[in-house]
Structure 1
Amino acid sequence: MPRNKRRIELVTEDERQFSKRARNHVSSRRIARDNSAFTQRRCVQLFREYTVPTEPDTLGPEGMEKFCADIGVEPENVVMLVLAWKMNARQMGFFTLNEWLRGFVDLQCDTIPKIQAKLDYLKSLLNDYNTFKSIYRYAYDFARDKEQRSMDIETAKAMLKLLLGKHWSLFSQFNSFLESSKYKVINKDQWCNIFEFSRTIVNDLSNYDVDGAWPVMLDEFVEWLTSERQAQPYRS
């Protein structure tokens, strides 16, 4: 993946199979316990296993794929977003040495087994409302093209699916709305309000205030969904 490519990519079938085998390999055995004391030196050495001599302080897309395979997690798994948030990583697909140390010093991880042992903990952070909200907000600046102020719609849909797809009952309808809408980008105010909408507005839209301070995008979504339901009254 070239450095200037920000958009979330669909992995090939071969890559999926490779990642699946890696996960099966991890799950088929008990993760080795590593009770050795954390050292920053060993943490740096681990980082260097995924970088190239020409850019020793930057872990790029190829190194990221190898790292994900080693820990048994697909690159598009939400746990990788949580890990990036822990590091406060700036750019999707890349970790700098400083970001790596920020995250793994906090997690006290300097070996692959130690990182594997923290995966469930990282996933559990999504269960806390305030932490999830922080990760959701972080995802906007993390995933958008840094040369643009807004996030392109394809990246936005992919990130919304990753974060809200399993937890928002109206996600599939909202995704369909975006696909049929005029919107080509999503700005940060819209992004943040989508989260608030997903957490506060019930499925039948009965608590939606038409005079509220929602962005026009969400007013349009409510109008679109209401029209869809009237046209197909038996559709949930």
Structure 2
Amino acid sequence: MPPASHTPAQRQMIGQFVAFTNSGRTAATQALRQSNWNLEQAVNGFYSSNASASNNTHKAALSKLFDKYRDDPKSADTISMDGMQKYMTDVGVSPEDVSFLILSELVQSPSMGEMERNGFVTGWSGAGMALLEQQQTFLQQTRSNLSKPQYRGQLRKIYKHTYTLLRPASARTLDLDVAIEMWRVLLSAPSIDWSTPSTPWLDYYVEFLTTNWKKAVNKDMWDQTFALVEKTLEDESLGWWNELESAWPAVVDEFITWVLEKRKGGGDAMEVE
């Protein structure tokens, strides 16, 4: 029973705090006293403190899990190819599937087949997933939701990170065949499907690049390709494109011209020099 020194208003706040937080009356009284009997501040402080403690617990568990897959005794903070393959098997991820790219972005893999302790712990603790089973479920759910509009921001982050993941450290560009392979993963089901009722955009883009472009892919081209995906899905008529006032990279302008010629029945557009 609360001490008699508590006013009716304070006793009411203690009861409300207990109801909001499912804590005991002693903890409620202490939290309210520390917040000078400001109920909102006391409740926020309670959840903030618990979240911090839970996050620290997650980080400790994740660091221990990281050590389970660390495969080089000389590298305390890196999981390389062998350990990465074992981890991916345990969470049900295939290197040929978009789930691999989801995972790589989440843990901020610096390169293919590699994870670092800080990225692994920070990524998974931020998602609140410390157990393998939770991580597997998270990756599967994200994979199945990636095509939904509300996940577009997350897909955009995955898409951007993929370029960093695949580009060799010493290179400024990405080989065209590698870029095409990743576009086929990132821009088709179960991810966003780059096609519209009258235009198989991804197939057209691959055809154009392999027959007419034949150049390496720099970061601007990579990023602008995703912008092109979004614009064509919004309006496949290309009403937003103006050849004379275009701010798109040359490859996009040439591709759109090629598509328009194809739509007119011109067959294969003339090759770009």
Q: Which amino acid aligns with 1:155?
A: V
Mapping of 1:72-221 within 5 angstroms? 72-123=92-143, 124=145, 127=148, 128-166=151-189, 167-169=193-195, 170-201=201-232, 202-211=235-244, 212-221=246-255
- Greater CA radius of gyration, 1 or 2? 2
Structure 1 length as normaliser, TM-score? 0.74
Q: State the alpha-carbon separation in 2 of the partners of residues 89 and 68 from structure 1.
A: 13
- Two-structure CA RMSD over aligned residues (Å): 2.3
Deviation at 1:153, TM superposition (A): 0.9
The answer on whether the counterparts of 2:62 and 2:124 sit within 8 Å (CA) in structure 1 is yes
| Structure 2 CA distance for partners of 1:126 and 1:231, relative to 1, 3 Å | closer
Higher relative contact order (CA 8 A, sep 6+): 1
The answer on whether the counterparts of 2:176 and 2:217 sit within 8 Å (CA) in structure 1 is yes
Q: What do the CA deviations read for 1:13-58 (whole angstroms, capped 9, x no partner)?
A: xxxxxxxxxxxxxxxxxxxxxxxx7543332222122222233321
Q: State the alpha-carbon separation in 2 of the partners of residues 140 and 178 from structure 1.
A: 17
Q: Secondary structure of 2:69's partner?
A: coil
Gaps of 5+ in 1: 1-36
Q: Secondary structure of 1:102's partner?
A: helix
Gaps of 5+ in 2: 1-53, 196-200, 269-273
Q: State the alpha-carbon separation in 1 of the partners of residues 124 and 61 from structure 2.
A: 11
Q: State the alpha-carbon separation in 2 of the partners of residues 158 and 179 from structure 1.
A: 12
What is the count of residue pairs matched by the alignment? Answer: 197
Q: Which amino acid aligns with 1:224?
A: W
Q: What do the CA deviations read for 1:121-170 (whole angstroms, capped 9, x no partner)?
A: 43336632222222222222222112111211122112211111341110
Q: Which runs of 4+ in 1 moved over 4 A?
A: none
Deviation at 1:232, TM superposition (A): 4.3
Higher helix share: 2
Structure 2 length as normaliser, TM-score? 0.65
The answer on whether the counterparts of 2:70 and 2:80 sit within 8 Å (CA) in structure 1 is yes
Q: What is the percent sequence identity of the aligned residues?
A: 27
Deviation at 1:94, TM superposition (A): 0.7
Corresponding position: 1:46 with 2:65: yes
Q: What do the CA deviations read for 1:170-195 (whole angstroms, capped 9, x no partner)?
A: 00110111111343311111111111
